[in-house]
Amino acid sequence: MAESWDDILRRLSKDKTIPSPVNRILLYGPPRTGKSSIGYSIFDAIERATIHKQLPVEDLLGGYALVNGTTQWQDGPAIRALRKGLPIVLDEVDQISPECRCILHALLDDPPGITLANGERVNAKEGYCVIATTNALPSGLPPAVLDRFDLILLANTLAKGLKEALGPLSKQAEAVVARDKSYHWSRPASVNFFLVVAKLRRKGLCDEHIISALGLDGQAANDALLSLTK
C-alpha cells in the first residue's frame, strides 16, 4: 500500500539523516484534509501565516512598534522562524501578492535568508523549513516559486490526526474527498528536481522512496523512475 502524504512527511521529518532537500514542501489538494494543521502534529513548535492578496510585507517580516514607550523592532513570523530554526506554515500560498513574492523567494532559497531594511542579514538556523499549502493546482504558482519546492505532495486523503478527530465519521469524510477528481497534475522535470534526487540518493533512499517523497504518481512516477534507473 502506498504511503499517504502525511506518512511521507512524518518519515522524512523524523529521519535526522535527511538534510536540506526536504525543507521546502508544498501541499496541495482539496480543502480540510489537514494540510495546514499537519505541522502541529509533526513538530514541537511552528510559525504560521495566512497569505492573501493584500498581505503587507510587515505581516511576514515584522516592523517597528511602540513597546514600553520606546520604538522597537518586532519580528514577524517569517523572521522568527529563520532566527529560531522553526518550520513556518504558509497557508494559501497561491494568493501571494506581488509585493511579498520576493520575500517568498528568499524564504524558499537554498540557503534561505532575508536582509532586513536596517541592513541586518537573518539566515536560517538548523530546523527551519517551509510548509506551504494551497487548494489550487501547483501549476497556478509562478514558475520561479514552484521550482523552489523540493517536495510537492497531493494531500487528497485525510491526515491521521483529522481521522482520529472524526472517529467513525472519517470513512464518510474520506469518501467525499476521494470523489474530487479535479487534482490532476504532474510535476515537470527541472534542475532542482534532479538536485533533490541526487541529495536523497546520497542519503541512501532507494528510487522507489524518492519517487514517493517527491510526490509523483501515475505515469509521471513511471517516467521519472525509468529516467532515474538508467
Residue extents of the structural domains in the chain: 5-187
Among 26-35, 160-169, 197-206, top mean pLDDT goes to 26-35
Note the helical H segments in the chain: 5-14, 38-42, 58-61, 77-84, 98-107, 143-146, 160-166, 170-178, 191-202, 207-213, 218-229
- 68 Cβ neighbours under 8 A, 6+ residues apart: none
Determine which of 97-111, 135-149, 171-185, 208-222 has the lowest per-residue pLDDT on average: 208-222
- Residue 6 predicted with pLDDT over 50: yes
What pLDDT is stored for residue 136 in this prediction? 93
- Residue 137 predicted with pLDDT over 80: yes
Could you tell me the pLDDT band of residue 3, with boundaries at 50, 70 and 90?
Answer: confident
189 half-sphere exposure, CB direction, 13 A CA radius: 9
Exposure letters 34-53 (e unless 16+ CB within 10 A, then b) = bbbbbbeebeeebbbbebee
Could you tell me the pLDDT band of residue 166, with boundaries at 50, 70 and 90?
Answer: confident
Q: Which three cell numbers stand for residue 2?
A: 502506498
What pLDDT is stored for residue 124 in this prediction? 95
pLDDT, one tens digit per residue, over 64-117 is 888 888 888 899 999 999 999 999 999 999 999 888 999 999 999 988 999 998
- Residue 20 predicted with pLDDT over 50: no
What Å distances lie between residue 137 and 84, 88, 152, 181, CA to CA? Answer: 31, 21, 11, 12
5-187: CATH architecture? 3-Layer(aba) Sandwich (3.40)
- Residue 17 predicted with pLDDT over 70: no
Count of residues for the chain?
230
